[in-house]
Amino acid sequence: MLKTLLAAALALTLPVLPAAAQADYPTKSVSVLIPFTAGGTADIFARMVSEHLQKTWGQPFVPENIGGSGGALAMGRLARSAPDGYTIALASTSNLAVHPTLLGDRIQYQTLRDLAPITQVSIVPNLLAVNPERIKARTVPELIAYLKANPGKVTFGSAGIGTTQHLAGELFQIMTGTQMVHVPYKGSSQMVPDLVGGQIDIAFDNAPLLLPQAKVGKLALLATATAERVPFDPNLPTVAETVPGFEAVAWHGFLAPIGTPAPVIDKLAKAINAYMEQPATKARFIELGAIPVHTSPEQFKQLIASETDRWKKVIDTAKVKVE
């Protein structure tokens, strides 16, 4: 009888301590993993949010850049971290919705099995650009007509196999019935100079990298790969205006290890979302060529699931493989 009473008393008291700890979160330093090199747009996003959270709660939010394997090292570390809210990460479309299909057993995580979505913070438009000396088309219909008249003769560059830039090109070919030659690079920093120099003909790439080149006439922008026209250039049409349903963007969001208590996830989401609603935050994201957004954890989870399914179909149809 005594053992039964003690067990019942213990069962009643056990949830109290975790709940108290969750309410007080954070009580120590939080690691913010960034699966990108320092100085890029995503790195800036992560550091902006980290600084806000540190100011909000008075605890250090320490960004840590972890490169290698397209971000898989950082995401594997996140998946193996204690599910207590003291390790979070900013990740991208490639990390979350592409690599689990493309790399399979070569990575140490599966997104929705091992990671808990917190909130999405950005959409980074991919723009369709051409070298103006090599491709005379200035609209999407003109480009499609040119590609159909010259199958397999036009090269499109990307920041690497399986990136959104690469998959945008594959999706474009699938939806338009055209054929191009893919030229993968180790990053946009190598690809864009070759596009400007005429070593390759066209590319989809993130807006922040292409806009400066377009402004000085070194590249011609034909369209954006977003579902709707972008706020920083509402005169630029979308590919979808010619190819209905076409969309191929990069996006970023924060995650924690699976099993992180829901109150901690919700607390992080509310604080990050409040920051994303600030006019100064929105202005800075737009200045960087991104569209600021915020979601609930469930909405972000649904986005990851739908994007994983969508890009899996493109990867399978285009027979994309990483050697």
- CA-based max dimension of the chain: 88
CA distance 73 to 70: 8
With 0-12 CB in 10 A as exposed, 13-18 as middle and 19+ as buried, what is 4? exposed
Contact assessment for residue 92 and residue 250, using Cβ atoms and an 8 Å cutoff: yes
Radius of gyration of the chain (CA): 22
Closest Cα partner for 250 from 130, 168, 312? 168
Q: What pLDDT score does 72 carry? A: 86
Q: What pLDDT score does 21 carry? A: 59
CB atoms within 10 A of CB 38: 11
CA distance 54 to 241: 43
Q: Which residues of the chain have pLDDT under 70?
A: 1-21
Q: What pLDDT score does 14 carry? A: 39
The answer for 294, left when phi > 0, alpha when psi is -120 to 50, beta otherwise, is beta
CA distance 93 to 2: 55
Contact assessment for residue 247 and residue 227, using Cβ atoms and an 8 Å cutoff: yes
SS3 track for 123-169: EECEEEEECCCCCCCCCHHHHHHHHHHCCCCCEEEECCCCCHHHHHH
Residue with token string 């469930």: 298
Q: What pLDDT score does 19 carry? A: 61
| Residues facing 130 on adjacent strands | 202, 220
CA distance 143 to 202: 10
pTM beyond 0.75: the answer is: yes
| DSSP code for 237 | P
Q: What pLDDT score does 196 carry? A: 97
Q: What pLDDT score does 7 carry? A: 42
Torsion sign (Cα): 95, 100, 101, 107: positive
DSSP element (H, E) containing 63: strand 61-65
Q: What pLDDT score does 252 carry? A: 97
